[in-house]
C-alpha cells in the first residue's frame, strides 16, 4: 500500500519555491530517511505530509487522501519536531496520559518506561525542559503513539551523543516489534544510515535520489592520483565532486557506471579507486558547487 | 499497521476535555476579575437624599452590575486569547483538524460562560453581604428573589457572557488572519461610536443594545443571543478554514 504519494508537488512561499516539482512514493512499513542540507525543504515537505501546510500545485496523497486539515490523516499520523507545543498547565505525566487518550495504539507501558529511563520528573512542565530534554520527550510521544505514519523532523537536535544513540536504538527496536511507516529527516546521514531502508535526498526542493540505502552505498566511486591522469581518465564520465590534494594530486568522485575494464585501466595508470560512503555521496551531491567550500577561497 | 477511523464528535470530546484541563489559567483570571469587580462596586452606583426640617435621609444604591460587565469583558478577552498561536498550536500536538479545534473551543467557551454566569450570581450576593458588613446602615432594602427570577437572571447572565465570548472569538480569528485588524477594529469601533453620536442623537448602538438588552420574553431573548453568537462562530470558522499550522 502506498502511504505517501506526491506528484509534481510544489510549494511556493511568495516567489521562492520551497518544494519544486517533487514526485515520489513511500510504501508501507519502511523507514525512509529524508536527507538534505539546511533550507532544502525537508520541514516544508514533512509539514505538507502531516497536513499542516497547503501545497501550491501538484498533488499529495497520504493514505490516499489529501492530508490538509484531514482528520483521518491526523489520527493515523504523528509529526514530531522541536516546535511541538504543549500546554504549560499540564505536567509531563498528564501530557503522556492525554496522548494516550488521543492515539488508539498508544503504549503507556513503553511511554512510562522510556520516561523513567531518561529520568524525567513527572511533575515538571514541558516549557521548562531544556532543548535536548524537549526533543527526548517529544520522541517518547512519537514512539509510544505507534501511529501508522510516524514523522520525525530532525528529532535529535539538542540531544547529547548518548541520548541520540539510545533514541535510534529505541526507534529500531520498536519498529521491528511494531512495523510502521517512519520518515526521519536529518542532515547527518552517517548517524541514521544504519537504521534506514530507503533514502530520499532533496536539494533546493527538488528530488536528487530516492533509492534503497544499499544501492546508494555503491552509487559512486572515488578516484585519486595525479591531477592530469585523473582529469584525463574522468573526462568522459559524470563527475560529482572534485578536490585538489597537495601540489599536483586530485580526488574525483564519479557515478559508478564504468566497466571493469575502465577500472583496470585506471589502476594501470596509477590511479587509486576507493569506495565512497553514503554520507559523502550525499554531501557531494547536495553541495553548492562541484569544488565545495574550497572554491570560495580560490 | 491498520488504520483507525475516528469521528469528528469523538475527537471533539477529547479535545474539549483536554482544554478544560489545559486552559486552567482562564479560570483563575475569572476569580481575580470578580474580586476586582467587588472592589469597584463597593462605592455604590447611585445616591440620593433629602431632608425636611429636622429629618434627613440618604439612599445608597448597590448593584452587582459592574461584576457582570467585567465578566463580559473577561469573556471577550479570553476568547481572543484562545485564538492566539500558543493555544492553537497546542491542539495540533494531538489529533485534530481545524473544525474540531473550533468546536472544542466553542464548547469550552460555553462551559466557561456557564461557570462565569453562576459565579456572577454568587459574587453579586457576596458583594451585598460585604456591603452590609462594611457600611454603616440603618436599614437595608433588597429586591425580592424568587426561584424563577433567579434562574432567569442566571440564564440571561450566562447568555450575555457567551455572546461577548463569541464576538471575542470572531475578533481573535480576524486578528490571527491579519495583524492589521488589531489596529483596524478598535479604530472602526470607536469611529462608529463617534459617527453614530455626531448629531447628538445616536441610533445604531442604542438600538443594538436594546435589541439584546430589553427583551422581556425569555424564549425570544435566548433565540436572539444564540442566533447572534452562532453567526459570529460561523464567520470565524469559515474565515479560518484554510489557515495553516505552524507555517
Q: Are residues A196 and A231 in the same domain?
A: no
Q: Chain A residues with CB inside 8 Å of B246's CB?
A: 47, 52, 83
Q: What is the mean pLDDT of residues B7-12?
A: 95
Average pLDDT, chain B: 90
Domain end point (choices A181, A215, A249): A215
CA dist., res. A106 & res. A141, Å (int): 9
**Do A197 and A33 meet the contact criterion of CB atoms below 8 Å apart?**
no
CA dist., res. A94 & res. A106, Å (int): 14
User: What's the pLDDT band for A100 if we cut at 50, 70, 90?
Assistant: very high
**Chain A CB within 8 Å of residue B245 CB:** yes
Q: Are residues A118 and A73 in the same domain?
A: yes
Cell digits of residue B160: 450575555
CA dist., res. B186 & res. B181, Å (int): 8
Which residue in the block uniquely carries the three cell numbers 514530531?
Answer: A80
**Do B43 and B53 meet the contact criterion of CB atoms below 8 Å apart?**
no
**Residues near A77 by beta carbon (within 8 Å), at least 6 away in sequence:** A49, A50, A51, A62, A67, A147, A148, A149, A150, A151
**Chain A CB within 8 Å of residue B23 CB:** yes
Burial code (b: 16+ CB inside 10 Å, e: under 16) for B143-161 equals: eeeeeeeeeebbbbbbbbb
Structurally, how many domains does chain A consist of?
A: 2
pLDDT reported for residue B120: 93
**Chain A CB within 8 Å of residue B53 CB:** no
The residue range of the domain holding A17 is: 2-215
User: Is the pLDDT reported for residue A111 higher than 80?
Assistant: yes
Do the Cβ atoms of B247 and A53 come within 8 Å? yes
Q: What is the mean pLDDT of residues B61-78?
A: 91
Closest residue by Cα to residue A10 from A206, A229, A182: A206
**A97-101, A121-125, A191-195, B41-45: the lowest-pLDDT one:** B41-45
**Chain B CB within 8 Å of residue A91 CB:** no
Q: Which tens digit of pLDDT belongs to each residue from B220-246?
A: 999 999 999 999 999 999 999 888 888
CB pairs under 8 A between A and B: 89
Strand A220-226 relative to strand A249-255: parallel, antiparallel, unpaired? antiparallel
Do the Cβ atoms of A54 and B242 come within 8 Å? yes
Do the Cβ atoms of A85 and B1 come within 8 Å? no
Q: Are residues A115 and A173 in the same domain?
A: yes
Do the Cβ atoms of B94 and A71 come within 8 Å? no
On the 0-12 / 13-18 / 19+ scale of CB atoms within 10 A, A16 is exposed
Q: Which tens digit of pLDDT belongs to each residue from A253-290?
A: 998 888 888 888 888 888 889 999 888 888 888 887 76
H-assigned helices in B135-146: none
Spatial strand order of the sheet with A206-212 comes to A77-80, A149-153, A181-186, A31-35, A198-203, A206-212
Which of A94 and A286 is assigned the larger pLDDT?
A94
Domain end point (choices A215, A237, A259): A215
pLDDT reported for residue A9: 95
Q: ipTM value of the model? A: 0.87
Q: Chain B residues with CB inside 8 Å of A105's CB?
A: 1, 4
**Chain B CB within 8 Å of residue A125 CB:** no
> To the nearest whole angstrom, how far is the Cα of B95 from the nearest Cα of chain A?
5
pLDDT reported for residue B10: 95
Q: Are residues A278 and A136 in the same domain?
A: no
**A residues 50..89 contacting B (CB < 8 A):** 51-54, 63, 69-72, 74-76, 83-87, 89
- Ranges A35-39, A149-153, A294-298, B62-66, most confident: A149-153
Mutation target to probe the B interface, by most B beta carbons within 10 A, among A53, A70, A102 is A102
> To the nearest whole angstrom, how far is the Cα of A210 from the nearest Cα of chain B?
23
Nearest to B94 among A53, A98, A178 (CB): A98
Q: Are residues A138 and A241 in the same domain?
A: no
**Residues near B98 by beta carbon (within 8 Å), at least 6 away in sequence:** A69, B237, B240, B241, B243
Which of B42 and A51 is assigned the larger pLDDT?
A51
User: Is the pLDDT reported for residue B181 higher than 80?
Assistant: yes
**A213-217, B105-109, B117-121, B213-217: the lowest-pLDDT one:** B213-217
- Ranges A103-112, A238-247, B238-247, most confident: A103-112
pLDDT reported for residue A290: 67
Which of A296 and A213 is assigned the larger pLDDT?
A213
pLDDT reported for residue B247: 80
Chain B's closest residue to A150, CA to CA, is: B1
**Chain B CB within 8 Å of residue A167 CB:** no
Q: Residues A251, A254, A259, CA angle at the centre, nearest 5°?
A: 120
Nearest to A74 among B18, B86, B95 (CB): B95
Q: Chain B residues with CB inside 8 Å of A29's CB?
A: 1
> To the nearest whole angstrom, how far is the Cα of B246 from the nearest Cα of chain A?
7
**CATH code of the domain containing A119:** 3.40.50.300
Chain B's closest residue to A101, CA to CA, is: B14
User: Is the pLDDT reported for residue B130 higher than 90?
Assistant: no
Q: Are residues A59 and A90 in the same domain?
A: yes
> To the nearest whole angstrom, how far is the Cα of B1 from the nearest Cα of chain A?
6
Q: Are residues A133 and A70 in the same domain?
A: yes
User: Is the pLDDT reported for residue B46 higher than 80?
Assistant: no
Q: Are residues A199 and A235 in the same domain?
A: no
Domain end point (choices A156, A184, A215): A215
Q: Any idea where the domains of chain B sit in the sequence?
A: 8-44+61-177+215-240
Q: Are residues A169 and A225 in the same domain?
A: no
Percent of chain A whose pLDDT exceeds 70: 99
β strands within chain B, DSSP E = 46-52, 55-61
Q: Chain B residues with CB inside 8 Å of A70's CB?
A: 97
pLDDT reported for residue A189: 87
Q: Are residues A164 and A25 in the same domain?
A: yes
Q: What is the mean pLDDT of residues A176-181?
A: 95
Nearest to A101 among B2, B14, B244 (CB): B14
Q: Chain A residues with CB inside 8 Å of B14's CB?
A: 101-102
Q: Are residues A288 and A142 in the same domain?
A: no
**CATH code of the domain containing A265:** 3.30.70
Q: Which tens digit of pLDDT belongs to each residue from A195-226?
A: 999 999 999 999 999 999 999 988 899 999 99
Amino acid at each position: 500500500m502506498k502511504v505517501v504519494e506526491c506528484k509534481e508537488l510544489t510549494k511556493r512561499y511568495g516567489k521562492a519555491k520551497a518544494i519544486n516539482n517533487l514526485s515520489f512514493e513511500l510504501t508501507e512499513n519502511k523507514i525512509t530517511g529524508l536527507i538534505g542540507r539546511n533550507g532544502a525543504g525537508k520541514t516544508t515537505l514533512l509539514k505538507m505530509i502531516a497536513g499542516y501546510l497547503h501545497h501550491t500545485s501538484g498533488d499529495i496523497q497520504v493514505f490516499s487522501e489529501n492530508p490538509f486539515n484531514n482528520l483521518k490523516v491526523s489520527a493515523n499520523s504523528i509529526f514530531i519536531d522541536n516546535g511541538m507545543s504543549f500546554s504549560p498547565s499540564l505536567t509531563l505525566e498528564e501530557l503522556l496520559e492525554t496522548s494516550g487518550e488521543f492515539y488508539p495504539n498508544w503504549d503507556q507501558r513503553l511511554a512510562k518506561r522510556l520516561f523513567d529511563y531518561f529520568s524525567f520528573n513527572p511533575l515538571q512542565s514541558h516549557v521548562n525542559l531544556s532543548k535536548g530534554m524537549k526533543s527526548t520527550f517529544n520522541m517518547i510521544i512519537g514512539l509510544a503513539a505507534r501511529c501508522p505514519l510516524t514523522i520525525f523532523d530532525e528529532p535529535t537536535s539538542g540531544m547529547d551523543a548518548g541520548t541520540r544513540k539510545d533514541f535510534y536504538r529505541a526507534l529500531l527496536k520498536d519498529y521491528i516489534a511494531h512495523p510502521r511507516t517512519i520518515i526521519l529527516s536529518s542532515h547527518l546521514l552517517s548517524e541514521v544510515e544504519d537504521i534506514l531502508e530507503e533514502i530520499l535526498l532533496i536539494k533546493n526542493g527538488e528530488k536528487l535520489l530516492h533509492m534503497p540505502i544499499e544501492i546508494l552505498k555503491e552509487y559512486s566511486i572515488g578516484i585519486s592520483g595525479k591531477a592530469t591522469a585523473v582529469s584525463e581518465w574522468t573526462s568522459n564520465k559524470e563527475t560529482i565532486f572534485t578536490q585538489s590534494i597537495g601540489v599536483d594530486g586530485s580526488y574525483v568522485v564519479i557515478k559508478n557506471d564504468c566497466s571493469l575494464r575502465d577500472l583496470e585501466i585506471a589502476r594501470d595508470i596509477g590511479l587509486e579507486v576507493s569506495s565512497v560512503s553514503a554520507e559523502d555521496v550525499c554531501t557531494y551531491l547536495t553541495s553548492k558547487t562541484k569544488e565545495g567550500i574550497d572554491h570560495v577561497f580560490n | 499497521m491498520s488504520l483507525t477511523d475516528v469521528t469528528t464528535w469523538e475527537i471533539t470530546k477529547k479535545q474539549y476535555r483536554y482544554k478544560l484541563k489545559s486552559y486552567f489559567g482562564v479560570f483563575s483570571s475569572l476569580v481575580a476579575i470578580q474580586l476586582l469587580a467587588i472592589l469597584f462596586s463597593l462605592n455604590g452606583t447611585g445616591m440620593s437624599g433629602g431632608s425636611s426640617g429636622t429629618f434627613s435621609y440618604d439612599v445608597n444604591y448597590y448593584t452587582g452590575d459592574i461584576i457582570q460587565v467585567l465578566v463580559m469583558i473577561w469573556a471577550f478577552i479570553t476568547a481572543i486569547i484562545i485564538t492566539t498561536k500558543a493555544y492553537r498550536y497546542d491542539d495540533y500536538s494531538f489529533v485534530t483538524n481545524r473544525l474540531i479545534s473550533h468546536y472544542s473551543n466553542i464548547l469550552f467557551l460555553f462551559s466557561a460562560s456557564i461557570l462565569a454566569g453562576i459565579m456572577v450570581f454568587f459574587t453579586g450576593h457576596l458583594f451585598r453581604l460585604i456591603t452590609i458588613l462594611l457600611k454603616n446602615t440603618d436599614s437595608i432594602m433588597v429586591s425580592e428573589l424568587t426561584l424563577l427570577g433567579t434562574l432567569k437572571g442566571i440564564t440571561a447572565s450566562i447568555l450575555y457572557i457567551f455572546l461577548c465570548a463569541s464576538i471575542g472569538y470572531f475578533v481573535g480569528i480576524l486578528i490571527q488572519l491579519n495583524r492589521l485588524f488589531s489596529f483596524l477594529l478598535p479604530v472602526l469601533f470607536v469611529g462608529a461610536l463617534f459617527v453614530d453620536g455626531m448629531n447628538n442623537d445616536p441610533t445604531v448602538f442604542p438600538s443594538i443594545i436594546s435589541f439584546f438588552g430589553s427583551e422581556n420574553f425569555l424564549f425570544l431573548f435566548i433565540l436572539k443571543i444564540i442566533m447572534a453568537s452562532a453567526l459570529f462562530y460561523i464567520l470565524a470558522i469559515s474565515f479560518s478554514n484554510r489557515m495553516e499550522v505552524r507555517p
